[in-house]
């Protein structure tokens, strides 16, 4: 079955694989047409030692692009909105205008539930205790953006900023997921989290691996307007040493694709996402050179087969 088109609003780099460069190719391999808005157009990602050059799209420019698409009837058939790094409050609020317009256009063409435009929001704010966006975006994400999202994909730092809950163990993770569900999204996918009480006994952890990272997926299932239940799944993955850029962008894109293709099977989607992620990062690590940031760019093209046919490396276990 043909999948609905994706509108992806993320950063773009000429060299490397972050933002749209890390998201569009995998989605296309999974069978999705993708319309692309580049929130920035940079020479390279910002982690390179000698800086970067390029331009930044502002909110009014984004609205102008939206108007051009709508006038030409080109928003019809869009079923998904994907967003990643957004560096300013004005652009973030312009993204909300895009979402509202997409949903209005879809509803005007089809009033059934099939017309809903699904919003996958990666609330990129920082990592490892450090912000790389203005801190004012935390409240905007929490109060304005995430309530309109269907799927949210934060890392541990972002979860803690959004919920105020310090996540140290699985009980904390459950509380944090419930808090995020209460904001609006039915699917919460914590892309990376270090748990102090980590217990990996499912035979998936590579032997002699010193550390693992947990990935948590929590879904709210609505049976009736007043009846709902929750399911939560966990995968523990060995940590591959190194600092890799674009992994969150790739993860959000894969999650969008697999959950759209298998909407009722969260553990299967999760296993495919993490199987591909681990394979891409491992391949990147194996070909990287010490001290070379350029060599740490994700090996997406070389991982084409792992994206199209995710390897079965991990088994999700139910924790709720």
Taking CA atoms, 288 is separated from 50, 67, 142, 206, 284, in Å, by 19, 43, 37, 21, 6
Confirm whether 249 is a catalytic residue.
yes
Q: How far apart are CA 251 and CA 193, in angstroms?
A: 14
Give 207 or 86, the one with higher predicted confidence: 86
Q: Which two tokens stand for residue 228?
A: 């709902």
**Residues in a beta bridge with 238:** 212
Q: How many helices (H) and strands (E) does the chain have?
A: 9, 12
Tokens of 202: 């499912």
Q: What are phi and psi of 283, to 5 degrees?
A: -65, -40
Read off the pLDDT of each residue in 80-108 and give the average, rounded to a whole number.
96
Is a pLDDT exceeding 60 seen at residue 202? no
Distances (CA, A) of 202 to 27, 192, 315, 318: 30, 18, 8, 11
Tokens of 271: 């296993």
Give the whole-angstrom CA distance, residue 283 versus residue 48. 21
CA 219 to chain centre: 15
CA separation (Å) from 205 to 36, 157, 168? 37, 24, 20
DSSP 8-state class, residue 117: P
Q: Which residue in 122, 172, 236, 249 is the catalytic one?
A: 249
State how far Cα 261 lies from the chain centre: 16
Distance from the first to the final alpha carbon of the chain? 32
Tallying the residues shown for the chain, one arrives at 320
Say if residues 235 and 204 touch (Cβ distance below 8 Å). Answer: yes
DSSP 8-state class, residue 143: I
Q: Supply the mean pLDDT for the chain.
A: 93
Mean of pLDDT values over 230-236: 97
pLDDT band per the 50, 70, 90 thresholds, residue 290: confident
CB-count burial class (<10 Å; 0-12, 13-18, 19+) for 120: buried
- Note the pLDDT of residue 206: 40
**Percent of residues, the chain, with pLDDT higher than 90:** 86
CB 31 within 8 A of CB 3: yes
Give the DSSP H/E element, type plus range, for residue 218: strand 212-224
- Please list, in sequence order, all residues whose beta carbon lies within 8 angstroms of the beta carbon of residue 113, skipping any fewer than 6 positions away: none
Contact 250, 22 (CB under 8 A): yes
Residue 198 has pLDDT above 60, yes or no: no
Q: What radius of gyration, in Å, describes the C-alpha atoms of the chain? A: 19
- In angstroms, the CA 306 to CA 38 distance is 26
Cα 4 to chain centroid distance, Å, stands at: 18
Give the pLDDT mean for 176-200.
89
Residue-wise pLDDT tens digits, 154-173: 999 999 999 999 999 999 99
112: helix, strand or coil:
coil
pLDDT at 110: 79
What's the pTM value of the predicted model, to 2 decimals?
A: 0.94
Does pLDDT of 205 surpass 70? no
Q: What is the pLDDT of residue 1?
A: 54
**What mean pLDDT comes out for the span 19-37?**
98
* The two structure tokens encoding residue 75: 């928003």
């Amino acid at each position: 079955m043909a999948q609905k088109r994706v509108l992806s609003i993320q950063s773009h780099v000429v060299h490397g694989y972050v933002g749209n460069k890390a998201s569009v190719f995998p989605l296309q391999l999974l069978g999705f047409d993708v319309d692309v808005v580049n929130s920035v157009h940079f020479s390279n990602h910002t982690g390179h030692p000698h800086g970067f050059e390029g331009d930044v799209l502002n909110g009014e420019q984004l609205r102008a692009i939206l108007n051009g698409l709508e006038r030409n009837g080109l928003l019809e058939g869009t079923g998904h909105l994907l967003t990643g790094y957004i560096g300013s409050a004005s652009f973030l609020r312009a993204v909300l205008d895009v979402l509202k317009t997409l949903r209005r256009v879809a509803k005007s063409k089809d009033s059934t539930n099939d017309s809903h435009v699904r919003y996958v929001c990666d609330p990129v704010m920082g990592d490892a205790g450090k912000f790389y966006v203005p801190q004012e975006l935390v409240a905007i994400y929490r109060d304005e953006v995430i309530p309109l999202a269907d799927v949210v994909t934060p890392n541990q730092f972002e979860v803690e900023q959004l919920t105020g809950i310090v996540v140290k163990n699985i009980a904390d993770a459950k509380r944090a997921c419930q808090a995020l569900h209460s904001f609006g999204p039915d699917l919460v996918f914590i892309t990376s989290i270090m748990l102090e009480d980590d217990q990996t006994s499912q035979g998936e952890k590579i032997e002699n691996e010193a550390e693992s990272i947990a990935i948590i997926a929590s879904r709210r299932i609505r049976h009736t307007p007043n009846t709902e239940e929750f399911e939560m799944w966990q995968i523990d993955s060995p940590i591959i040493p190194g600092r890799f850029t674009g992994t969150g962008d790739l993860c959000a894109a894969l999650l969008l694709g697999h959950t759209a293709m298998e909407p009722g099977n969260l553990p299967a989607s999760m296993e495919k996402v993490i199987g591909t992620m681990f394979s891409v990062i491992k391949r990147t690590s194996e070909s990287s050179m010490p001290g070379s940031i350029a060599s740490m760019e994700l090996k997406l093209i070389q991982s084409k087969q792992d994206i199209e046919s995710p390897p079965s490396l991990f088994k999700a276990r139910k924790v709720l």
